[in-house]
Amino acid sequence: MKKILILLMATLAIASVSCKKDPVETGPTKLSVVTDDLVTVPYAGQTGIVVEFICDGEWEAKITTSEQGWIDFSGANTGEGNGKVTLDVQANGEKTERTATVDITAGELKASVQIKQDGKKLEITFKHPSIAFTDEQFAKIKAAYAAGAPTVKGAVDLIFARAGGAYDPETVTVAQKQENTDMGTLYKYMKGPSALALHRAVAYYLTDDADKKATYAAGAVDILYSWANACKDVDYPINATDSDEPTVGAGMYLSRVAWPFFVVYDCLGGSVYIPSEKDAVIVAWFRNIEKAAKASINSWDNNDYFGKQYWNNQLAAHMWGLLSIGYVLEDASLVQYAIDSDENPRDFYELIQNCIFMEGDTPCSRESSGAAVQTGEIYDRYRHETAPLKGLQYTSLTLQILSCAARTCYNNGIDMYAYTAPGGENLRLCYEFYAPFYEKLDADLQGGYYTGETDRLSKAGDMQGLFELGLNAYPDSEPIKKVINAIPNRYQNKVQMHDQLGYTRLYSIDADSIN
């Protein structure tokens, strides 16, 4: 019996040992990507793209693409636990987009992120100055001035007079007290200083007096820098999301009122008048405006364009601001984003096609009159009914914005004045449709839709002088020439001095350097 008991105990011991096996290693049980599963990269390339993920074990990342060499890891692609990999993407010289997949594996687990890079759709070049005027245009203005061309001389003399005006730094203080969140107040207080800065920058190019040149340049930069330093870190408001009417619009306001400052930097950036420490502040502010404009684009797109205002002037203004910043900072990706990008729901090409009506098109749903649209009319005509009686004012604003953007593109080798959208839309159609109103100063023309608006014609922001831009682009247009010939005093009339553009006469210098 004792032997049996000993044998039984031995058997149980062996069984116990055999049951104490090492646990089975099952490997990682968690792997998920924190980063968006689709990352879009501009055609110009990008460094430091981070793909971040959660993992509870060892992992490895690999890149899969049909074309090698354009994307690679800039650091480790293996590790353990929660991790991230960093990617560098080279510039894409082709017009077609390209893609790659970043696959992360951890044991049997796998997660993927797709990298899509835009193709190079445009041949983008840079020259300075070019936002408003080029060196060649300034030279023509100076030559016409020296030759005594009466309207050119009159406009230039007025610019010199305005450039010598005083700058009130209290305007920045007032804006700061508003904490830059009341965009209407910010616009009100910035438009005077920004216009003064523009006049000083233009005067710098037009004078041959070395002392005055230095004074004008330094004065322009002082104004620009004071605003940049005050506003570079402001968290600008975007749009109210609970209303069909946006109560604020940082992207629109800033794109318009800061445009003269973009011109100043375009004229004087890289010169002794903007040392590196000031340059950094100015660039930071421009990037902050870029951020606000892009946020406004997204806000409108995410809110059904605040009551289905799908193609109005505010959307054009976002594009104008981003285009200008892209050119002054030589940011090719931003220029392409503004002109032609799948990532931008309201790029320049799309605005030309949709802001401009062709006969038979459907107007804004806010219109209730049922009046048919005519070829060359502009989407913002609905303000005749909703503002009310400001249809011509807002269509003129849209035309001004698109024309200024087209001028900048043209000066840098992209001819948006000649561009015709697939439906036949182009800027010339707009000028020639609206020309009779401004030639005759009569809102009852062209079918009568704008009846009741005659009193606003030729007031600030709704003026004959904007047709100087049209004349420069389309010098053979008889309707445009009739408007120019109808202006009673082509350089001196107070409404020909535009808040953003300055004296409009100078914008037609390529087409007319004699009068």
pLDDT digits (tens, 9 = 90+) for 237-273: 775 444 444 444 689 999 999 999 999 999 999 999 9
With CA atoms as reference, report the closest residue to 363 among 434, 311, 402: 311
More confident position, 245 or 303:
303
Alpha carbon distance 14, 16 (integer Å): 5
Instruction: List Cβ neighbours of 96 (8 Å cut-off, separation of 6 or more).
Output: 119
Alpha carbon distance 66, 194 (integer Å): 50
pLDDT band for position 496 (cuts 50, 70, 90): confident
pLDDT digits (tens, 9 = 90+) for 29-88: 899 999 888 998 888 788 999 999 999 999 999 999 988 889 999 999 999 999 999 999
| First-residue to last-residue Cα distance in the chain | 132
* Burial classification of residue 188, based on how many CB atoms lie within 10 Å of its CB (0-12 exposed, 13-18 middle, 19 or more buried): middle
pLDDT digits (tens, 9 = 90+) for 423-432: 999 999 999 9
Q: Give the rounded distance of the alpha carbon of 361 from its chain centre.
A: 27
| CATH architecture under which domain 31-117 falls | Sandwich (2.60)
SS3 label, residue 198:
helix
pLDDT digits (tens, 9 = 90+) for 472-491: 999 999 999 999 999 888 87
Q: What is the pLDDT of residue 461?
A: 65
More confident position, 214 or 3:
214
Share of the chain above pLDDT 70, in %: 90
pLDDT band for position 12 (cuts 50, 70, 90): very low
SS3 label, residue 485:
helix
Judge whether 416 and 410 are in contact, CB under 8 Å.
yes
pLDDT digits (tens, 9 = 90+) for 418-451: 999 999 999 999 999 999 999 999 999 999 999 9
Alpha carbon distance 382, 371 (integer Å): 10
- Dihedral angle over CA of 294, 298, 300, 302, nearest 10: 180
Q: What is the pLDDT of residue 180?
A: 54
Give the mean pLDDT of 90-101.
88
pLDDT digits (tens, 9 = 90+) for 142-193: 999 999 999 999 999 999 999 999 998 887 876 665 555 678 788 888 999 9
| CATH architecture under which domain 135-508 falls | Alpha/alpha barrel (1.50)
Q: What is the pLDDT of residue 183?
A: 80
The CA-atom distances, in angstroms, between 142 and each of 114, 205, 208 are 54, 9, 9
Q: What is the pLDDT of residue 102?
A: 94
Share of the chain above pLDDT 90, in %: 74
pLDDT digits (tens, 9 = 90+) for 370-399: 999 999 999 999 999 999 999 999 999 999
Domain boundaries, the chain: 31-117, 135-508
Q: What is the pLDDT of residue 85?
A: 94
Q: What is the model's pTM? A: 0.83
Q: What is the pLDDT of residue 19?
A: 46
Q: What is the pLDDT of residue 483?
A: 95
Alpha carbon distance 106, 113 (integer Å): 15
